[in-house]
Structure 1
Amino acid sequence: MTPPARVRRAIDGLGRLVGGLGTAVLAICALVWVVIVALLCLTGVGLLLVPGALRAVRTVADRERGRLTRWGPEVIPPDPIPSGRLAGLRDPAVHRELGWLVVHATVGLVVGLFGLAVPLYAVQDLTFPLWWQLIPPEEGSPTLIFWAIRTWPDALAVALVGVAWLLVGLVALPWLARLQAWPGRRLLKASADVDLSLRVAQLTATRAAALDAHAVELRRIERSLHDGTQNRLVAVNVLLGAARRQLARDPSAADEILARAQDATEQALADLRSVARGILPPVLADRGLAGAIAGLAGASGVPCAVDVQMPGRCAASVEATAYFVVAEALTNVAKHSGASSAKVAARREGDRLVLRIDDDGHGGADESRGSGLVGIRRRVEAHDGRLSLTSPAGGPTTMRVELPCGS
């Protein structure tokens, strides 16, 4: 992994840890309330508060589900808590949520605090030579420094400790983020039957979208062949017939007709090449996805930066979909956003190809108003991928697409 990629992973892990630290604080509050209600149940008063306590646990658990879904595969929520004063206590999903609450309020909190402390220690120790002389001698050394700081070499040694903290953060932060998220992904997911039924419904919808997208593509190819190529070939046939008849009467006129027939043939070939490129752009085979995206960015009407981290190739259909997404997104940026710059990033994250298209335009992109966004979503969902669009009024606009591409 390249150093910039490792830095991005560490920053991403830090963001996840901070988010997990927030839900850990909420989990502590919910856990304290559950304990209070449990103690009040000994007097009978707490029985009236049980449904509210379970709803509070479910609310915190849903916040964690949302957080985990934003950072990875979707965590499907369970069925609603059964109605009835104590019916929820018999729900297995509630039991798992209570177990997660205890783990996340303790282990999740500790992991989050440690993850947040690592970059803080790194910044403190790395900058220590800049301000160590301002510390009164009686206050001692910085945190976790066991030697007295009296000279410049002592202060520079602290900076070396900061470098060590920085290296620890680059390696450990992504791992700590996964460790913090693991209990939630294991305990907060829906039961197998709920997950299966939702998955069937999702696959049914994406299959219908794939069939619709396929039908639209066939109609586009049919129109291109009928309106362009077929008409030009008919013209060639007519011109060749006229030239054949003219040969016996005026060979010089036949030569002019043959020239027109040749021009029509060349135009028909150009139309066929255009249709073929629409099915599977040749640039993908020639230059790969990175080169194809660079070509789209270079031809964009808005200045576009490219950041592609693709160590290998994906399936041809996935690369073609990614190419279509970037091409349509950049077309939308040029036509509708009023942006002065854009950026396209593509990288492999495990078994998924992640695309991100940003622009600094006025925002307000809405799928209900067309602009090709519906077509992009259909193509992405046909590959069992995910699309998220953030486009507040005033901008900026960010489109994130995830496509499964194998390990």
Structure 2
Amino acid sequence: MAIHQDAAAGDRSTGLKDNVLRALSAAGIAIAQLASGLNTAFLAVLVLLWLAVTAVTSLVGVGLLMVPAVARALHSLAGQERERLGRWGPEVVAPEPAPTRLRAALVDPTTRRELRWLARHATLGFLLGLLGVVLPISAVRDSTFPLYWKLLPTDTTASSVGIGHAHSWPDALAVALLGVGWIAIVLGLAPGMARLQAGPGRRLLAAGPDTDLSLRVAELTATRAAALDAHATELRRIERSLHDGTQNRIVSVTVLLGAARRMVARDPAGADELLERAQSAAEQALSELRTVSRSILPPVLDDRGLAGALSGLAAECAVPCRVDVDVPERCAASVEATAYFVVAEALTNIAKHSAAGQAAVTVRARGGRLHLCVEDDGRGGAGGTSQAIGTGGEDGGSGLTGIRRRIAAHDGTLSLSSPPGGPTTLKVDLPCGS
């Protein structure tokens, strides 16, 4: 009984540690995102002031000459914000280039959306970015106050909010408690603040429903071309595997059988040795052929479904892996195959490169979408926000490019969070029926 209680206490301790690490990681990412947003928000303030000056001077005709320059500055800043948001999450697809001439800009929907974003980012976005920088500094300053308060001049303001003086250790500890409060605020509010700061940009700077459908056509054309490239690369890989492996084994079997046939009469013992070598080569060829066939479409998907196939991958992984699959109905075979290969690639790279102690695979089917999440508690730093888990190659069949092409062929999405120190989280969203 005591052993069970100790194990449960250990599990709770490990779970609490994991939750704290996740909260710290999420807060750190959010603070970095808010700080990067402060840069574009400061530029947005300048562009907004420039726009206001242009509007005022336009009343006397002088400001009309500045309209094209202001419009170019606005479009350039909006492009910077799209790139920034793309580094911290899903890509923001840009609309067609907006006009800069006065009449065209006044009626252009993209310019109007960018102006709405400019007003919000220069006000709310700037405030949130400023808080995202000031709050962590205040948290560090106040929580460490007992370490240096005796070195400060007499009657120096003690807290970061500009009130109070520390004349004794209880006063210094009170400031430290304020710092702990700042830390709690940062951990609790920073992720939401980052989402609130990024929200207007994701809504207003993306290609809207009134944008030319040629953008969507171009996007689909690119994803289909990438899928065809990945398919061609996969065929070349299979051809190389068959040519360099299985075919050579079968040729070896043929040569050995021919030699054994000629030696049967004059050297039965030598012929028997050649037959054993031929049998061994045939078995190796059969094993390689099975490996190649599984890499095309794993039979385990048909036999055991996605849950059973992923459980098999987890069982073979060198890192202890937990699998949680909730998919009430079967998805399209191509979608299940894509999910299988994504998990296989992720677990392989986790085992090779992450130094993780454990991993987890979670799959959910909700609203006609298949949501896949692969997590590990390794060292992190898997290529920042734009690389695949681990250090998989950039060829068409493995690593980030191969995974992205498989997912893009289904109009799915991929996102990766891997801050230094971990944890690493790979999320994939696929339509179930495509």
Give the aligned partner of residue 116 of structure 2: 99
CA contact (8 A) 2:230 2:402 kept: yes
Structure 2 SS opposite 1:211: helix
* Code of the aligned partner of 2:341: A
Give the aligned partner of residue 61 of structure 2: 44
Partners of 1:181 and 1:309 in 2: CA distance:
34
Q: Within 5 Å, which residues of 2 pair with 1:271-350?
A: 271-276=288-293, 278-279=295-296, 286-288=312-314, 291=317, 317-318=338-339, 320-321=341-342, 323-324=344-345
CA contact (8 A) 2:136 2:182 kept: yes
Give the aligned partner of residue 85 of structure 2: 68
Say if 1:240 and 1:60 are closer, same or farther in 2 by CA, change over 3 A.
closer
Structure 2 SS opposite 1:216: helix
Give the aligned partner of residue 76 of structure 2: 59
Partners of 2:21 and 2:316 in 1: CA distance:
17
Deviations 1:161-219 (A, max 9, x none): 21121121112111111111111111112222547532332232222222232233234
CA contact (8 A) 2:314 2:322 kept: no
Deviation at 1:85, TM superposition (A): 3.6
Deviations 1:213-246 (A, max 9, x none): 2233234324433554355446657867887898
Question: Which one is further off, 342-351 or 136-145?
Answer: 342-351
Give the aligned partner of residue 143 of structure 1: 160
* Code of the aligned partner of 2:282: T
Give the aligned partner of residue 224 of structure 2: 207
Partners of 1:70 and 1:242 in 2: CA distance:
63
Q: Within 5 Å, which residues of 2 pair with 1:156-305?
A: 156-194=173-211, 196-226=213-243, 228-230=245-247, 232-233=249-250, 236=253, 255-276=272-293, 278-279=295-296, 286-288=312-314, 291=317
CA contact (8 A) 1:119 1:166 kept: yes
Deviations 1:326-362 (A, max 9, x none): 979999xxxxxxxxxx768899998666996459xxx
Deviations 1:67-115 (A, max 9, x none): 1111111222232233544321121211111111111111111111112
- TM value normalised by structure 2: 0.68
Partners of 1:289 and 1:89 in 2: CA distance:
61
Deviations 1:17-70 (A, max 9, x none): 111111111111111111111111111222222222222222222221121111
Partners of 1:184 and 1:33 in 2: CA distance:
20
Say if 1:344 and 1:212 are closer, same or farther in 2 by CA, change over 3 A.
farther
Partners of 1:200 and 1:378 in 2: CA distance:
22
Question: Which one is further off, 261-270 or 243-252?
Answer: 243-252
Question: Which one is further off, 344-353 or 19-28?
Answer: 344-353
Does residue 1:9 correspond to 2:26, yes or no?
yes
Deviation at 1:130, TM superposition (A): 1.4
Question: Which one is further off, 154-163 or 23-32?
Answer: 154-163
Say if 1:268 and 1:115 are closer, same or farther in 2 by CA, change over 3 A.
same
Give the aligned partner of residue 421 of structure 2: none
Partners of 2:258 and 2:28 in 1: CA distance:
70
Does residue 1:131 correspond to 2:148, yes or no?
yes
Runs of 5+ in structure 1 lacking a partner? 295-307, 332-341, 360-370, 389-399
CA contact (8 A) 2:234 2:397 kept: no
CA contact (8 A) 2:314 2:323 kept: no
Say if 1:143 and 1:192 are closer, same or farther in 2 by CA, change over 3 A.
same
* Aligned sequence identity (%): 45
Does residue 1:87 correspond to 2:104, yes or no?
yes
CA contact (8 A) 1:82 1:88 kept: yes
Runs of 5+ in structure 2 lacking a partner? 1-17, 301-308, 327-335, 363-370, 385-392, 417-423
Partners of 1:4 and 1:290 in 2: CA distance:
27
Does residue 1:28 correspond to 2:73, yes or no?
no
Deviations 1:118-147 (A, max 9, x none): 111111111111122233443343233765
CA contact (8 A) 1:213 1:378 kept: yes
Give the aligned partner of residue 380 of structure 1: 404
Partners of 1:22 and 1:129 in 2: CA distance:
33
Partners of 1:23 and 1:78 in 2: CA distance:
19
CA contact (8 A) 2:407 2:430 kept: no
* Code of the aligned partner of 2:181: A
Say if 1:247 and 1:137 are closer, same or farther in 2 by CA, change over 3 A.
closer
Partners of 2:247 and 2:343 in 1: CA distance:
30
Partners of 2:425 and 2:214 in 1: CA distance:
25
Say if 1:255 and 1:217 are closer, same or farther in 2 by CA, change over 3 A.
same
CA contact (8 A) 1:209 1:381 kept: yes
* Code of the aligned partner of 1:382: R
Partners of 1:330 and 1:146 in 2: CA distance:
52
Partners of 1:322 and 1:251 in 2: CA distance:
51
Question: Which one is further off, 235-244 or 121-130?
Answer: 235-244
Say if 1:11 and 1:209 are closer, same or farther in 2 by CA, change over 3 A.
same
* Code of the aligned partner of 1:208: A
Root mean square deviation of aligned Cα: 4.4
- TM value normalised by structure 1: 0.72
